[in-house]
Chains A and B, each alone.
Chain A
Amino acid sequence: QKEVEQNSGPLSVPEGAIASLNCTYSDRVSQSFFWYRQYSGKSPELIMSIYSNGDKEDGRFTAQLNKASQYVSLLIRDSQPSDSATYLCAVDMLTFGGGTRLMVKP
């Protein structure tokens, strides 16, 4: 059975810092990886998808994938209080981690 692991947090960072969120997955043949953001009481929204090893940047967000280590991460640069949310890692569309709660303190 596929598993996706995330540290539940909370991860607390000061405003303006880089937040680093990590995710590991169990199925070596997984092909697609996603990061979603979920504010309290709301549904998830897609932030980024990544399919190839390496980095993918979109604005303040960078997704990093290392298939050999079965590891995917999300970096948020210049973190803002509005980034405070739970970040969900998903593998192959339907397998979700438990989420990491990020708190950005002003």
Chain B
Amino acid sequence: GAVVSQHPSWVICKSGTSVKIECRSLDFQATTMFWYRQFPKQSLMLMATSNEGSKATYEQGVEKDKFLINHASLTLSTLTVTSAHPEDSSFYICSAPAGETNHEQYFGPGTRLTVT
């Protein structure tokens, strides 16, 4: 159980365009999902908490107008990187809490974004 999927697994886009990444909980409902970014050889950086039916909560330093998050249903959260620039190239990973205490995080496989 507790499977999280992401789509696409990789994407290349041109500078200035927008990219949407989907995160789905396949076998459980997730009122909360998390979005992370990871640069090469660095640890996970939490970007935002996605809440079903309400606005996302962004971490300090993350531009909410650039990284649009929508939690449309109990199984789907989307991250849209707007007006992408090369410095946005990174590995984007979503997760959802599940398990006995609902504190264990189950991660999606990640989306590798390259902005040219």
Contacts and interface: CB of A to CB of B under 8 A. Distances in A.
A49 B103 contact: yes
Contacts of B97: 93
Interface stretch (A39-47, A63-71, A75-83): A39-47
A49 B110 contact: no
Contacts of A36: 105, 107
Contact of B110 (A32, A42, A94): A42
Interface residues of B, number: 17
Interface residues of A, number: 19
B103 A44 contact: no
B93 interface: yes
B34 interface: yes
Interface string A1-45: 000000000000000000000000000000010101000001111
A88 interface: yes
Closest 6 CB pairs of A and B: A43-B107, A43-B110, A98-B43, A93-B103, A43-B93, A32-B103
Given A45-B107, A98-B43, 20 more contacts: A34-B103, A34-B104, A34-B105, A36-B105, A42-B109, A43-B107, A43-B109, A44-B107, A46-B104, A46-B106, A49-B99, A49-B101, A49-B103, A51-B101, A90-B105, A93-B104, A94-B34, A94-B46, A96-B44, A98-B42
